[in-house]
Amino acid sequence: MLNKLIFVINCGSSSLKFSVINVQKKKILLFGLAENFNNKNSYIKWNINNTQKKKNFYIKINHKIILNYITNNILKKYLLYNNIIAVGHRIVHGGENFVNSVIITKKVIEAIQKASIFAPLHNPIQLIGIKEITKILPHLKNKQVAVFDTAFHQTMPEESYLYALPIKFYEKYKIRRYGAHGTSHKYVTQIASKILNIPLNILNCISCHLGNGSSITAIKNGKSIDTSMGLTPLEGLVMGTRCGNIDPAIIFYMFNELNIQIDKIYKILTEKSGILGLTNITSDFRYIENNYSKDNKIKRATNIFIHSLSKYIASYRILIGKKMDAIIFTGGIGENSVLIRKKTIKKLEVLNIFIDNKLNNEIKFGKTGLINTINSIPILVIPTNEELMIAQDTFNIINR
Ligand code: AMP
Residues 71-123 pLDDT 10s: 999 999 998 999 999 999 999 999 999 999 999 999 999 999 999 999 988 99
Residue 1 has pLDDT above 60, yes or no: no
The number of distinct structural domains making up the chain is: 2
Distances (CA, A) of 251 to 13, 118, 163, 265: 26, 19, 18, 7
Ligand 1 atom with least separation from CA of 331: 3
Strands 51-56 and 205-210: unpaired
The closest-lying atom of ligand 1 relative to the alpha carbon of residue 210 is 3
221's torsion region: left (phi>0), alpha (psi -120 to 50) or beta?
Answer: left
Predicted TM-score (pTM) above 0.85 = yes
Residues 224 and 360 both lie in one domain: yes
The residue out of 133, 148, 163 marking a domain boundary is 148
> Do 23 and 133 belong together in one domain?
yes
The pLDDT assigned to 400 comes to 86
Within this chain, do residues 221 and 122 fall inside the same structural domain, yes or no?
no
284 C-alpha to center of ligand 1: Å? 7
* 224 shares a domain with 88: no
Q: Please report whether residue 281 resides in a domain.
A: yes
**Is residue 165 domain-resident?**
no
Q: Which pLDDT does position 2 carry in this prediction?
A: 57
For residue 74, give the CATH number of its domain: 3.30.420.40
Instruction: With respect to residue 76, please indicate whether it lies within any of the assigned structural domains.
Output: yes
* 293-316 exposure pattern, b = at least 16 Cβ within 10 A, e = fewer: eebeebeebbeebbebbbebbeeb
Nearest-atom index, ligand 1, CA of 212: 2
Which residues are near ligand 1 (CB < 6 Å)? Answer: 211-212, 240, 283-286, 289, 331-333, 336-337
The rounded Å distance from CA 245 to ligand 1 centre is: 21
| Domain assignment of residue 163, yes or no | no
Determine whether 356 is an active site residue. no
In-domain check, residue 189: no
Q: Ligand 1 center to residue 9 CA distance, Å?
A: 22
The answer to whether residue 162 sits within a structural domain is: no
229 shares its domain with 365: yes
The model's confidence at residue 13, banded by pLDDT at 50, 70 and 90, is confident
Last residue of a domain, one of 148, 183, 218: 148
206 shares a domain with 314: yes
* CA 290 / ligand 1 centre spacing (Å): 13
The percentage of residues in the chain with a pLDDT greater than 90, rounded to a whole number, is: 96
Instruction: For residues 233 and 375, state if they share a domain.
Output: yes
Report percent pLDDT > 70 for the chain. 100
Whether residue 22 contacts residue 5, with contact meaning beta carbons closer than 8 Å, is answered with yes
Residue 3 has pLDDT above 80, yes or no: no
**Contact present, 355 and 349 (Cβ < 8 Å):** no
Residue 174 lies inside a defined structural domain of this protein: no
Together in a domain, 81 and 207: no
Mutational pocket test of ligand 1: of 10, 279, 333, the residue with most ligand atoms within 8 Å of the beta carbon: 333
Cα gap 200→62, rounded to integer Å: 41
With the most atoms of ligand 1 within 8 angstroms of its CB, the residue from 183, 188, 214, 285 to mutate is: 285
At 320 the pLDDT is: 98
Report helix angle 296-320 to 338-346, nearest 10: 60
Catalytic residue among 149, 226, 325, 393: 149
Q: Running DSSP on this structure, what letter comes out for residue 281? A: S
Q: What share of the chain is helix, strand, coil (3-state, %, to 5)?
A: 40, 20, 40
Q: CA-to-CA distance for 336 and 46, rounded, in angstroms? A: 23
Same domain? 224 vs 353: yes
CA of 341 to the centre of ligand 1 (A): 13
Strands of the chain (E only): list them.
5-11, 16-22, 27-35, 43-48, 51-56, 84-91, 102-103, 144-148, 205-210, 214-220, 223-227, 326-330, 369-370, 379-381
Residues 101 and 214 in one domain: no
164: in domain: no
Once rounded to an integer, what is the mean pLDDT over residues 57-61?
94
Task: Determine the atom of ligand 1 nearest the C-alpha atom of 340.
Answer: 21
Domain-terminating residue out of 148, 175, 210: 148
124 pLDDT band, cuts 50/70/90, is: very high
Question: Which residues form the domain of 75?
Answer: 5-148
Q: How far apart are CA 58 and CA 15, in angstroms?
A: 15
Looking at the fold, whether 346 and 258 belong to one and the same domain comes out as yes
Q: By the 8 A CB rule, do 74 and 32 touch? A: yes
